[in-house]
Amino acid sequence: MAYKFTDDNFEQEVLNSDTPVLVDFYADWCGPCKMIGPVIEELAEEYEGVIKIGKINVDDNQNYSTKYKVMTIPNLIFFKNGEKVDQVIGVVSKDQLVEKLEALK
């Protein structure tokens, strides 16, 4: 199951994480976000214990959405050692995400 990130736990769960992290910035009303949501859930299970994968609702958590200049969703940001290292905007295939996740290890 994908992690649920918030403005309150983002620093601890993402920026201070011992493992790489994929954060899906999304909104409940966003059609493309709903399309990629099941892929994010699948990847969270497949990479459990290796890469932390989760979601943050941009409507409810605007601090980090603003900090990382999230203007379009879905917006997937990859973090390693607390730093943003990659980003994907929009709906992409599972294969494309796996490729980026493998590079993150």
- Structural domains for the chain: 3-104 (3.40.30.10)
The full DSSP string for 51-74 is SEEEEEETTT-HHHHHHTT--SSS
The whole-number average pLDDT for the span 85-92 is 96
pLDDT at 68: 96
User: Which phi and psi (to 5°) does residue 22 adopt?
Assistant: -115, 125
Which residues are known to be catalytic?
A: 30, 33
With a cut of 90, say whether residue 1 has pLDDT above it. no
Phi-psi region of 4 (alpha: psi -120 to 50; beta: other; left: phi over 0): beta
For position 69, what pLDDT does the model report?
95
pLDDT, residue 97, reads: 97
pTM, two decimals, is 0.95
pLDDT value of position 11: 97
